Amino acid sequence: MKRVITYGTFDLLHYGHINLLRRAKELGDYLIVALSTDEFNEHEKGKKTYFSFEQRKQLLEAIRYVDLVIPEENWDQKVDDVNLYQADVFVMGDDWIGKFDDVGEKTDAEVVYLRRTPEISTTQIKKSLNEKKY
């Protein structure tokens, strides 16, 4: 069984996220999603999410491409996760190109950067919502 692992916040889940998860799953048989915890988002990434970790986890678990959701609690856990979950492929969006090449160097996993869906992002959605007056 070929295992794939990817990471993200997945807040305000949208079709760009679904595209990424679908393409990640196409690279193997089993997709593990490491979901950034609320604490990690706030203290390390400087992000405030709309949905809580548990809500975002529930949404991801409902997606047919996702087999397992685990917490991402810090930047440095990726190599350990790849080894622990015996991942064959490590996937990130292409906005991270080059930033995680060391994961492949420190493990047996292939590192793949998938192209983002260009016309959609959570940042774009939040900006659009803030600009609208009701």
The count of other CB atoms within 10 Å of the CB of residue 30 is 17
> Among this protein's residues, is 47 annotated catalytic?
yes
Element (H, E) at 83: helix 78-84
In the prediction, which pLDDT does 62 show? 97
Q: What is the mean pLDDT of the chain?
A: 91
In the prediction, which pLDDT does 14 show? 83
Express each pLDDT in 57-68 by its tens digit. Answer: 999 999 999 999
pLDDT band at 12 (very low <50, low <70, confident <90, very high): confident
The structural domains of the chain, ordered by start, are 3-131 (3.40.50.620)
In this prediction, residues 30-48 reach a mean pLDDT of 95
In the prediction, which pLDDT does 132 show? 62
In the prediction, which pLDDT does 15 show? 85
Element (H, E) at 57: helix 53-61
> Among this protein's residues, is 45 annotated catalytic?
yes
In this prediction, residues 110-128 reach a mean pLDDT of 77
In the prediction, which pLDDT does 5 show? 98
In the prediction, which pLDDT does 128 show? 63
CB of 23 within 8 A of CB of 50?
no
Q: Is the pLDDT of residue 55 over 80?
A: yes
The count of other CB atoms within 10 Å of the CB of residue 111 is 20
Q: Is the pLDDT of residue 130 over 90?
A: no
CB of 109 within 8 A of CB of 79?
no
The one catalytic residue in 45, 48, 106, 127 is 45
